[in-house]
Structure 1
Amino acid sequence: MPLLESAGAAQAGSAQRETVLAILNGVMGDHLVASGNPLAISMTLRHQGQALRWDVEPRPAHLAGAAPRCC
């Protein structure tokens, strides 16, 4: 099975696949989105390998002291 398949296919949780998709989208993400490529992914912030969800309240306990801005 190829490492790069559409974002919804195959082993969605593979760390190696996630890394390759992140690099690909970092380099040419705008083109992937503009061309409707299924390898395009949304930007996410990650903590210990898990995508953080910022649309939930209350914040998870390990993020309770996080500042509202990064800079």
Structure 2
Amino acid sequence: MLKAADTLFAQADGPERVTMDAIAAACSVGKGTLFRAFGSRAGLLDALWATKIEALRASVESGVVPFRQDT
């Protein structure tokens, strides 16, 4: 569910354009399933950010550069 949400948010013009209905449809579950899993839209966003922050933390701790900014 988080992967589907992440994809939709990345493709949207803004986060407010991504509905729970769209996320549910993208991962073939009912909207109620999203609310049971995350409690609310804010809970889903919190879980999504937590996975992204964890991946970034793991990269930094392992010495891998997670992104590169060319100057």
TM-score, length of structure 1 as denominator length: 0.32
Q: Hey, which of these two has a bigger chunk of strand by percent?
A: 1
Q: Hey, which of these two has a bigger chunk of helix by percent?
A: 2
